[in-house]
Chain A
Amino acid sequence: MSPRVRLTVLQAAAPLVALLLGVVVAAAIMLALGHDPVATFALMASFNLRPASLASIAFKATPLIFAGLAAAMAFRVNLWNIGVEGQYYIGAFAAAMVGFGLRGLPAVIHLPLTILAGVAGGVLWALPPILLRLRRGAHEVITTIMMNYIALALVHYLLADVFRDPAQAGTPRIRTPLLAASARMPGLHDALALAGIELPGHSALNWLLPVGILLCVALALLLSTTRAGYEVRAVAHGAGAAEAAGIPLDRVHLMMFAGSGALAGLVGLNDLLGFFGYFDVDFPKGLGFLGISVALLAKNHPVGIIFAALLFGYLDRGAEGIQVFSRVPREVITILQAVTILAIVVAYEGVSRYLRALRTREAAVPGAATPGPEAA
């Protein structure tokens, strides 16, 4: 069937075409600024292929995998969790508190507890919006955005006035005490060395990357092969029919949103447990919003999120490279990312329109055959 093949090609090509469009716009800006786009992209590629850069890309991609998954999980069932940002902030701070607050525990207990605290913080921050949505019909876009502001203010208050490291008194540093070593996430150096890959010594790449990738694969399998996944897909694609079939909509919505918050709670741990070892006033912001972009680019598909996150890591690292070595402002790359996302939204809309047209036409095919034994 040629239309079907064409559709598959279209679906696969959409993100690539969108990316290409982003590259073209970025190139135009570089030209306007008097830089050579071909040379710049070539520089970016060669810079990114250095071992240190590869490690950095993987490190940058790690939180984006969790953030993308968090956003996608809610988006899947048409809940717009714009609050990943606040949820990861609260989650990371909760993890930090467990990390520096408990002492003398063995790592096998302390590290899981710390991670759990992150998850709990994320869920805690996701619950008010979803409960307000289910009980009172308050739109989650509004409430999650508000929760983001509250999260930021709350964390800054706790950081500066309650849990500030006394050892830093008299310095301009506003941060928590150092986390216990037993709460830190071990690096990937040893594991990669076993595989014959030498990770640069200063790299902060840690076990959260494989955890994130595994989570993606596990969620993809869960969605496609389990009863729970089936119910989620039914709610996602036809809430009315799912409800008429006895699937409790509210419970699915609650579970998915809480799950989204739980994953959001993991976003900040890469930097907290794998790199800084303390939570300070400059703790990375914006990862939650990037996660929304990652989810959009991946069309909410868990495995697609791995690639989307890696692409964002690549662009981010590349932006640092070209800023240093060719004095092209890194904002050009931010624009490239934004244009790609815009284009992808438009492209997916185009593809789904084509899909609709195709299916209405197919529906008009008189007397398609009854399936034989080879069907399905």
Chain B
Amino acid sequence: MAAEPVIQLRDITKRFPGVVANDGVTVEVGRGEIHAVVGENGAGKSTLMKILYGLYRPDAGEILIRGRPVALDGPRHALHLGIGMVHQHFMLVPGFTVTENIILGSEPASHGRLDRARARAVVARLCQQFGFRLDPDAQVQTLSVGEQQRIEILKVLYRGAEILILDEPTAVLVPQEVEELFTNLRRLRADGKTILFISHKLDEVLAIADRITVLRRGRVVGTVAAGATKAALAEMMVGRPVLLALERSPAAPGELMLEAQDLTVADGDGRALVRGVSLAVRGGEIYAIAGVEGNGQSELVEALVGLRPLAGGRVLVGGAPVARHTVREARSRGVAHVPEDRHRRGLVLPMAVWENLILGHHRRRSFLRGPFLRMPAILEFGRQRVAEFDVRVPALRTPALALSGGNQQKLVLARELAFQPRVLIAAQPTRGLDIGATEFVRRQLLAARAEGRAVLLVSADLDEVLTLADRIGVMYNGRIAAEFAHGEATPAELGLYMVGTERKGREGAP
């Protein structure tokens, strides 16, 4: 223990109908400590943090803050005790300045009038005190994700928090931004703040945390000091040894399967989102598109699968141009799509597992008898897919929304990889998944590659891109800013292209 414990969670138990989310969890965090809580999805991390933040009440156990037992009854109370939460999803007003966003909800006022000068001064002082690079007068919508996150942290500090809970803070950042975040967190630590850091990215946890508590299925598996190995942590999390390095067979590129020629996509106002992108993916090859989100990757994918009209260029599948630019045409030509937003695009959440498994295949003759669905064949197909992809479902008629994120993604993969697609376009396929499910998805991508399919992977996760891809294209501002072969680039290099500081390759200047 670094110092006297600031937070003591003792034997916290929280039950939901049918689940014990936290089962006798005990965690102690000292003042000025960066303490990481890791665990797979559903391990109980979020529940524990919500208890500490006053959003849930524990069924048993006690919480001591600075040695005194407390009964938290809401975020306001938690904040009063100096506990602040930095959420994974930012809650900022885009049209407001940094200062306005920070003071929103507790504005300094004199006689009912907002005291802008004082507010600005307070924010500027906070930035200086903690060494945050941030312009108090900048409009939030002009700022990068990393800068927006700094605002969220400052919001909490502005409200006097001594204990900061950060929920998956690195999920949305590029490597350089992660570095800066860690620098900031270390400064906060030096200033005596206590930081609880929730994550499932083990490299980052090992880089920043003083101590690490591992949760599995609602229980504490152990608390280890910094210096533990990644493999040991992963095994504690999953409960079995995990292969962190994936077997990657030598590349054997085959026929050209997917080509984009000078593809241009515009939004409703005619603004170009994808600007003349050309790429070619061969069978047996994984081509990865790396990039900070919002640089045209989503639009590029939607254009390739026929969801978005083209403003220019064309798409070729299996060497021949796609005749009609529709989803059905692309699908019939053998293009499978794992959408980026699995809840909105990938699954019809209220519908049953079997209904989701035939989505897009539901016009196949084997599934129909006249205008009617041929249920025996569909259910047989469903059972077979669910078994092959090890989707954990209580029954085929369970609605998809009752499944965990990992199982939902398995469901999408099981569907998309049915019927031998030539091309698999996977957008952010491991986002939000735990280690086990991530490993499964990556294996499936490699398996598709080994089977000679062309895989186009769009991912914001650089580790994923670097381990899986045969070739990497970095997308910035609607263009492929650079292309690398496997093993040619370091994360830091990719990061430079991702934020637009470097540019090379065919595309030239804008």
**A225 contact set on B, CB distance < 8 A:** 372-373
Question: How far does the Cβ of B363 sit from chain A's closest Cβ, in whole Å?
Answer: 7
**In the complex, which residue of chain A has the Cβ closest to the Cβ of B399?**
A359
Stretch from B17-25, B123-131, B136-144, B291-299 at the A interface? B17-25
A244, B345: Cβ atoms closer than 8 Å: yes
Question: How far does the Cβ of A367 sit from chain B's closest Cβ, in whole Å?
Answer: 6
A376, B395: Cβ atoms closer than 8 Å: yes
**In the complex, which residue of chain A has the Cβ closest to the Cβ of B350?**
A237
Rounded to whole angstroms, the CA-CA distance of A248 and B371 in the bound complex is: 17
Query: Does any Cβ of B come within 8 Å of A234's Cβ?
Result: yes
**A244 contact set on B, CB distance < 8 A:** 305, 307, 327, 337, 339, 345-346, 360
**A358 contact set on B, CB distance < 8 A:** 17
Rounded to whole angstroms, the CA-CA distance of A148 and B452 in the bound complex is: 59
Within 8 A of B (CB), among A215-260: 225-228, 230-231, 233-234, 237-238, 240-246, 248
Stretch from B51-59, B175-183, B185-193, B385-393 at the A interface? B385-393
Which one of A228, A234, A366, A367 contacts B371 once the chains associate, using CB atoms below 8 Å? A228
Query: Does any Cβ of A come within 8 Å of B354's Cβ?
Result: yes
Question: How far does the Cβ of B210 sit from chain A's closest Cβ, in whole Å?
Answer: 29
Residue among B328, B355, B360 with the highest chain A CB neighbour number at 10 A: B360
Within 8 A of B (CB), among A341-376: 358-359, 361-371, 373, 375-376
**B390 contact set on A, CB distance < 8 A:** 370
Question: How far does the Cβ of A148 sit from chain B's closest Cβ, in whole Å?
Answer: 31
Rounded to whole angstroms, the CA-CA distance of A3 and B307 in the bound complex is: 39
A237, B351: Cβ atoms closer than 8 Å: yes
**B344 contact set on A, CB distance < 8 A:** 238, 240-241
A234, B393: Cβ atoms closer than 8 Å: no
**B368 contact set on A, CB distance < 8 A:** 227
Question: How far does the Cβ of A241 sit from chain B's closest Cβ, in whole Å?
Answer: 5
A227, B362: Cβ atoms closer than 8 Å: yes
Query: Does any Cβ of A come within 8 Å of B359's Cβ?
Result: yes
Rounded to whole angstroms, the CA-CA distance of A376 and B353 in the bound complex is: 9
Main secondary structure of the interface of B (DSSP, over half): loop
**B307 contact set on A, CB distance < 8 A:** 243-244
B386, A371: Cβ atoms closer than 8 Å: yes
B360, A226: Cβ atoms closer than 8 Å: no
Rounded to whole angstroms, the CA-CA distance of A244 and B425 in the bound complex is: 12
**In the complex, which residue of chain B has the Cβ closest to the Cβ of A224?**
B373
Query: Does any Cβ of A come within 8 Å of B394's Cβ?
Result: yes
B42, A238: Cβ atoms closer than 8 Å: no
B383, A373: Cβ atoms closer than 8 Å: yes
B372, A227: Cβ atoms closer than 8 Å: yes
Stretch from B166-174, B247-255, B281-289, B400-408 at the A interface? B400-408
A364, B19: Cβ atoms closer than 8 Å: yes
Question: How far does the Cβ of A294 sit from chain B's closest Cβ, in whole Å?
Answer: 23
**B345 contact set on A, CB distance < 8 A:** 240-241, 243-244
Which one of B17, B337, B351, B394 contacts A234 once the chains associate, using CB atoms below 8 Å? B351
**A237 contact set on B, CB distance < 8 A:** 348-351
Question: How far does the Cβ of B245 sit from chain A's closest Cβ, in whole Å?
Answer: 26
A361, B19: Cβ atoms closer than 8 Å: yes
B327, A371: Cβ atoms closer than 8 Å: no
Which one of A228, A240, A371, A373 contacts B394 once the chains associate, using CB atoms below 8 Å? A371
Residues in chain B within 8 A of chain A (CB atoms): 16-19, 21, 42, 217, 305-307, 326-328, 330-331, 337, 339, 341, 344-351, 354-355, 358-360, 362-363, 368, 371-373, 379, 382-383, 386-387, 390-397, 399, 401-404
Query: Apart from A234-B348, A245-B360, A371-B393, what 5 extra A-B contacts exist at CB < 8 Å?
Result: A227-B371, A228-B371, A238-B349, A241-B339, A242-B348
28 A–B contacts from the bound complex (CB under 8 Å) = A2-B17, A225-B373, A226-B372, A231-B362, A234-B355, A237-B349, A238-B347, A238-B348, A238-B349, A238-B351, A240-B341, A241-B339, A241-B346, A244-B346, A245-B359, A361-B16, A361-B17, A362-B18, A363-B402, A364-B16, A364-B42, A366-B19, A366-B42, A370-B391, A371-B394, A371-B395, A375-B393, A375-B397
